[in-house]
Amino acid sequence: MIVLGFMTGTSLDAVDMAVLDTDGEAIAGFGPAGERKLTDATRDVLLEATRQAQAWTRGTPAPAIFAHAAEMVAEEHFAAAEVFLAENKLAWPDIDLIGMHGQTVLHERPKDGVPGRTVQLGDASLLAKLSGRPVAYDFRTADVAAGGEGAPLAPIYHLARARASDLGPPLAVLNIGGVANVTFWTDIGEFSAFDTGPGNGMLDLLVQARGAGRYDAGGNYASVGRVDESVLRTLLDHPYFSEPPPKSLDRYDFPLSALDPLKLEDAAAILVAFTAGAVKLAFEQLGQAPGQVIVTGGGRHNPEIMKALGARLAVPVKTAEDMGWRGDSIEAEAFAYLAARTFRGLPISFPRTTGVPKPMTGGRIVEP
């Protein structure tokens, strides 16, 4: 089955695309991959949708902006894919299925007996109509309704990708997006996953709040900052880190207020150390060190984050590219893979990844 996967991260940077030939179990082949930057208009609407989502009271109607944003996301996906397919000498009839994650504007984990909430915006029906292809979407809702965290969902793909590269356990795949999450494949063949802590999200929010750009390009601010260990300890004392996995986060779960008195460079350096320190705590909580850590996601482009991981983890830290993987496309590949699993009725979330009671299917498919 030839599947086109889409992913847009919380950085609101681009639509990522990747084509896989897969039955949702083995990966028969890797097609092209690419990205298209989000337009400013779509990014502005999604920022406002995210702001309204954070203020959305449970039990009240969803903010009206959600429907408008969902249409814009679908239109962005279609426009991106039109160019992407043409550049790679493909056409819509060559695609058997589309997997669209949608844009996350809200993620609240279950707490104190209250179910979680998770919202990914993207009008799957519109995308199916525009493309003429079936679309798998809404991958998280069923998991949350069953009491799961709704995240992370990529672990089953991380295992498939590792096997396709003839890699074996013990192995960790660390995805550093807005939030960082780890998939740990143990030496007895089990796998578990959870969000370790902040990824790029807090750093992006810091830089934006200080009017210094959209993100810390190349780790330039962090590279000249000084880490205040007392502030770092305060951040790492957050109750989240002592909670047992599986567990999940939103990039807004850790306030930036502790960094308010600090200059930008020092605050950025602390957040880099926070990301790496949280990963270290995650491995300590697992109680077993992996043989190596493979880093995917946008965070691997920040040399200061990679340097901090190397300094704090007692195992080799490699980038996806070191392993011959397409690091910017792993999540898009993952949702192509999950779309194929949804099509076949295979589970996409598991007790040791999201906390659901048993392996669960998820996602829905809309026909054009």
Does residue 192 share a domain with residue 93? no
CA angle 166, 154, 281 (to 5 degrees): 90
CB neighbours of residue 40 within 10 Å: 8
Does residue 177 share a domain with residue 141? no
Tell me if 158 is assigned to some domain: no
The DSSP code sequence of 198-223 is E-SHHHHHHHHHTTS-SS-GGGHHHH
Query: What does each C-alpha distance from 43 to 24, 118, 130, 355 come to in angstroms?
Result: 32, 19, 21, 32
Per-residue b or e along 311-320, where b marks 16 or more CB atoms closer than 10 Å to that residue's CB: ebbeeebbeb
Does residue 204 share a domain with residue 351? no
Does residue 356 share a domain with residue 284? no
Sequence-separated contacts (24+) of 257-265 with Cβ below 8 Å = 258/231, 258/234, 259/206, 259/231, 262/228, 262/231, 263/225, 264/206, 264/207, 264/210, 264/212, 264/221, 264/225, 265/221, 265/222, 265/224, 265/225, 265/226
Structural domain that includes position 10: 2-151+333-366
Does residue 6 share a domain with residue 135? yes
What tokens does 136 get?
Answer: 């798998």
Extended beta strands in 38-96, E state = none
Tell me if 156 is assigned to some domain: no
Shortest CA distance to 26 belongs to which of 360, 348, 340?
Answer: 340
The DSSP code sequence of 294-336 is EEESGGGG-HHHHHHHHHH-SS-EEEGGGGT--TTTHHHHHHH
What tokens does 162 get?
Answer: 């590792």
Decide the pairing of beta strands 2-7 and 14-22: antiparallel
- Write out pLDDT tens, residues 136-190: 999 999 999 999 999 999 999 999 999 999 999 999 999 999 999 999 998 777 8
What tokens does 115 get?
Answer: 């179910």
Three-class SS state of 195: strand
Q: How many domains does the structure of the chain reveal?
A: 2
Q: Are 10 and 118 in contact (CB under 8 A)?
A: no
Three-class SS state of 133: coil
Does residue 174 share a domain with residue 312? yes
- State the Cα–Cα distance between residues 359 and 343, nearest whole angstrom: 16
CATH code, domain carrying 346:
3.30.420.40
Does residue 174 share a domain with residue 273? yes
Does residue 319 share a domain with residue 214? yes
Per-residue pLDDT of the chain (368 residues; tens, 9 = 90+): 999 999 998 888 899 999 999 999 999 999 999 999 999 999 999 999 999 999 999 999 999 999 999 999 999 999 999 999 999 999 999 999 999 999 999 999 998 888 999 999 999 999 999 999 999 999 999 999 999 999 999 999 999 999 999 999 999 999 999 999 999 998 777 899 999 999 999 999 999 999 999 999 999 999 999 999 999 999 999 999 999 999 998 878 999 999 999 999 999 999 999 999 999 999 999 888 899 999 999 999 999 999 999 999 999 999 999 999 999 999 999 999 999 999 999 999 999 999 999 999 999 999 99
CB neighbours of residue 113 within 10 Å: 6
Shortest CA distance to 282 belongs to which of 210, 187, 349, 192?
Answer: 192
- State the Cα–Cα distance between residues 174 and 299, nearest whole angstrom: 10
Does residue 350 share a domain with residue 264? no
Looking at the DSSP assignment, which residues form a beta bridge with residue 172?
184, 293
Q: What is the pLDDT of residue 291?
A: 93
Q: Are 17 and 78 in contact (CB under 8 A)?
A: no
Tell me if 347 is assigned to some domain: yes
CA angle 138, 102, 146 (to 5 degrees): 30
- State the Cα–Cα distance between residues 168 and 184, nearest whole angstrom: 11
The identity of residue 78, as a single letter, is F
Does residue 61 share a domain with residue 175? no
- State the Cα–Cα distance between residues 25 and 176, nearest whole angstrom: 24
Q: What is the pLDDT of residue 192?
A: 94
- ω into residue 290 within 30 of 0, thus cis? no
Does residue 177 share a domain with residue 121? no
